[in-house]
Amino acid sequence: MNLIKKTSEVYLAPGPIAAIGSREINFLRQEVAINQKGRLRINFHHENSDPLHEMIIAIRPDSYIRPHKHPDKSEAFHVIYGVVDVVIFEDDGTIREVVSLAAKDEIKAFYYRMSRPFFHTLIIYSDLLVVHEITNGPFVKDGTKFGSFAPKESANASTITAWKNELMERVERKI
């Protein structure tokens, strides 16, 4: 598949029919290794206004994904590669639930769906996480709400690292 580069983090699968395989996953693996934010995606939807958004997303474990929620949207993903905890929060930052997922595991689930807008983030335990994410469109840039209980992505690295470490401790106590 000939991907079209849209931004430093986004590629587009062209045409009305698209398939993904090991070649594209290897491409994501190589590119995410050098990506500044540690994440990269292939969009299968062509416009932000499309009613269905499907993406293959690669995320390094050192990438910081600030807890966020998408009002009026559902979100689901299927783990293709890796091991992750999806940490779901109440509005005040209290952990509501931890969903443990893995691509190849007889105990952990490999798919989850969230049909209400809860704040959520990821703790990645593998060298890389690759997921197939599906959500309803349209994408509105200012439509994502971020948890005030967590540092902004622009915060200094030590602040983010301390918050992530504290979150991991909270998750260990929760599960």
Residue count of the chain, please give it: 175
Q: What pLDDT is attached to residue 175? A: 64
Please return the burial class of 165, using the count of CB atoms within 10 Å of its CB with bins 0-12, 13-18 and 19+: exposed
Q: Which residues contact 58 (CB under 8 A, 6 or more apart)?
A: 25, 28, 29, 31, 32, 39, 40, 41, 128, 129, 130
**Phi/psi of residue 45, nearest 5 degrees:** -90, 150
Kindly give the parts of the chain with pLDDT less than 70. 175
Per-residue pLDDT of 144-156, as tens digits, reads 999 999 999 999 9
Q: Which residues contact 69 (CB under 8 A, 6 or more apart)?
A: 117, 118, 119, 120, 144, 145, 147
- How far apart are alpha carbons 122 and 79 in whole angstroms? 12
44: β partners: none
Q: What pLDDT is attached to residue 140? A: 85
User: Which domains are present in the chain?
Assistant: 4-174 (2.60.120.10)
Q: What pLDDT is attached to residue 171? A: 96
Q: What pLDDT is attached to residue 134? A: 97
Q: What pLDDT is attached to residue 142? A: 86
Strands (E), 51-117: 52-59, 68-69, 75-81, 83-89, 95-102, 111-114
Per-residue pLDDT of 46-79, as tens digits, reads 998 999 999 999 999 999 999 999 998 999 999 9
pTM of the model: 0.94
Q: What pLDDT is attached to residue 87? A: 98
Q: What pLDDT is attached to residue 36? A: 94
